[in-house]
């Protein structure tokens, strides 16, 4: 597949998720897909995760800000927005524990950098980094303060 075709796959996946069209995932993601960031080990687990995200954050929306393709990989930076209206079960990296968070009604905006590996027109593997600290701060789970200017 060409670099442009690989980028088109990522754009289609993002559009499908924004429209809650999980059926298209079968076309774009390999059955044995592995997400190193989310630890999902199949296309079905990925669909279950996305369904959960849409239930917790019903206005979940992804916007591709940058996209680069090289070889069989596509790097892209996305802005994710949403409103927390359902119970969230997630991982709080600062304390190394899972948390359960009742709906806060708060809106969030986070940035994520994702890398997807594409083989024969299907996404087979991914990596991602997002600002989880800022996500939990926006939901009111944690609070952090700026250091005084005289601290080195």
The domain ranges of the chain are 3-138
Q: What are the residues facing 112 on neighbouring strands? A: 78, 130
pLDDT (0 to 100) of residue 145? 76
Could you tell me the two tokens for 142? 């944690």
Could you tell me the two tokens for 27? 């076309």
pLDDT (0 to 100) of residue 90? 76
Q: What is the pTM of this model?
A: 0.90
pLDDT (0 to 100) of residue 133? 83
Residue 106 has phi, psi (to 5 degrees) of -85, 145
CA distance 136 to 142: 6
pLDDT (0 to 100) of residue 103? 95
pLDDT (0 to 100) of residue 91? 67
Correct CATH for 3-138 of 3.10.450.50, 3.40.50.300, 3.30.930.10, 3.10.150.10: 3.10.450.50
pLDDT (0 to 100) of residue 136? 86
Q: Strand (E) positions, 1-152?
A: 29-35, 61-70, 73-83, 88-92, 97-101, 107-119, 122-130
pLDDT (0 to 100) of residue 38? 82
Owner of token pair 């289609």: 12
Helices (H), 19-113: 25-28, 43-56
pLDDT (0 to 100) of residue 89? 82
CA distance 36 to 43: 13
Judge whether 88 and 56 are in contact, CB under 8 Å: yes
List, for the chain, all residue ranges whose pLDDT scores fall below the cut of 50: none
pLDDT (0 to 100) of residue 95? 61
8 three-state secondary structure: helix
Owner of token pair 């209206």: 85
pLDDT (0 to 100) of residue 94? 58
pLDDT (0 to 100) of residue 51? 94
């Amino acid at each position: 597949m060409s670099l442009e075709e690989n980028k088109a796959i990522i754009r289609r996946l993002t559009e499908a998720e924004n429209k809650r069209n999980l059926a298209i995932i079968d076309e774009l993601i390999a059955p044995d897909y592995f997400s190193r960031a989310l630890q999902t080990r199949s296309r079905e687990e990925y669909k279950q995760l996305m369904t959960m995200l849409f239930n917790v954050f019903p206005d979940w929306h992804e916007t591709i800000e940058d996209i680069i393709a090289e070889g069989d990989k596509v790097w892209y930076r996305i802005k994710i927005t949403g409103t927390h209206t359902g119970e969230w079960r997630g991982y709080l990296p600062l304390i190394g524990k899972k948390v359960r968070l009742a709906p806060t009604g708060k809106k969030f905006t986070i940035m994520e950098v994702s890398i997807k590996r594409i083989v024969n027109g299907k996404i087979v593997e991914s990596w991602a980094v997002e600002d989880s600290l800022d996500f939990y701060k926006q939901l009111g789970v944690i609070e952090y303060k700026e250091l005084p200017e005289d601290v080195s």
